[in-house]
Amino acid sequence: MAAARSPASRRILSALAVLSPLLVFNKFVYSVGVVEGRSMQPALNPDTSGTRRDVVLLARYAPVISDMGGPIAHGDVVFLTAPHDPSMTLVKRVIALEGDAVRPRRGAGEGIGSWVREVGPHDGYVRIPRGQCWVESDEPYRGVDSNVFGPLPLGLIDCKVAAVLWPLDRAGQVPRRMPKPGRVVYEGRILLEVDEP
């Protein structure tokens, strides 16, 4: 015969039955994040005083399940782990994916990374290796991005920004923005000196 459960254990089991799906949803489907800093202005945190921070909806399934919202694509804004400090989260825009070629901004590679010696640039461009991407700040003079680190593994991407939730006057999708024409050449449209014919 089953033992009768106490009211306290029934409350605990009820709470677990409600909280478990919510925690799974928050960890693997959608969650909410706050954007810090000014590196993504004007798309995110456009208030130059820095007193208002954008609250965003994060699509956590996007990096791993391509048929539920699509894979990471050119122009997506993503939250990713900083390659130089795993405790730090960066918010950047994906401008190139594997196979693409990027012309780095002036002064690229002068910071933390030594990627210039490792992968390029060749003919003024860097070919993005398989399984990697190139991310940049929308505001070119703020924050660190692939111009410092070079191409980054897609595995560092945690989630992509689905929409701005707050402030309400700017609620909605984050506008797609790409660099000036000629900075990114998409897969297969350029042959670099290091490419095999």
Asked about 27 being catalytic, the answer comes back as no
pLDDT of residue 195: 47
Please give the Cα distance from 116 to 81 (Å, whole number).
21
Q: Catalytic pick from 9, 49, 87, 92?
A: 92
Four-CA torsion 141, 147, 148, 151, nearest 10 degrees: 150
Q: Catalytic pick from 39, 137, 146, 160?
A: 39
Which has the closest alpha carbon to 80: 133, 140, 139, 27?
133
Q: Going by DSSP bridges, is the β-strand pair 30-34/184-185 parallel, antiparallel, or unpaired?
A: unpaired
DSSP class of 112:
S
**DSSP secondary structure string, 116-150?**
HHHH--BTTBEEPPTTEEEEE-SSTTSS--HHHH-
Residues 6+ away with beta carbon under 8 Å from 67: none
**DSSP secondary structure string, 65-107?**
-TTTT-S--TT-EEEEEETTEEEEEEEEEEEEETT-EE-PPTT
Name the strands in the sheet holding 152-153, side by side, starting at the edge strand that comes first in the sequence.
30-34, 55-59, 157-166, 77-82, 85-97, 132-136, 152-153
Instruction: Answer whether residue 121 shows pLDDT above 80.
Output: no
- Spell out the domain ranges in the chain: 22-177
Instruction: Answer whether residue 187 shows pLDDT above 60.
Output: yes
**pLDDT, averaged across the chain:** 80
Say which CATH class 22-177 falls into: mainly beta
Instruction: Answer whether residue 123 shows pLDDT above 60.
Output: yes
> When comparing pLDDT for 90 and 181, which is higher?
90
> When comparing pLDDT for 22 and 113, which is higher?
22
Asked about 160 being catalytic, the answer comes back as no
Please give the Cα distance from 118 to 90 (Å, whole number).
23
Per-residue pLDDT tens over the stretch 67-118: 344 588 899 999 999 999 999 999 999 999 999 999 888 765 555 455 554 4
| Contact by Cβ (8 Å): 157, 71 | no
CA angle 190, 191, 195 (to 5 degrees): 135
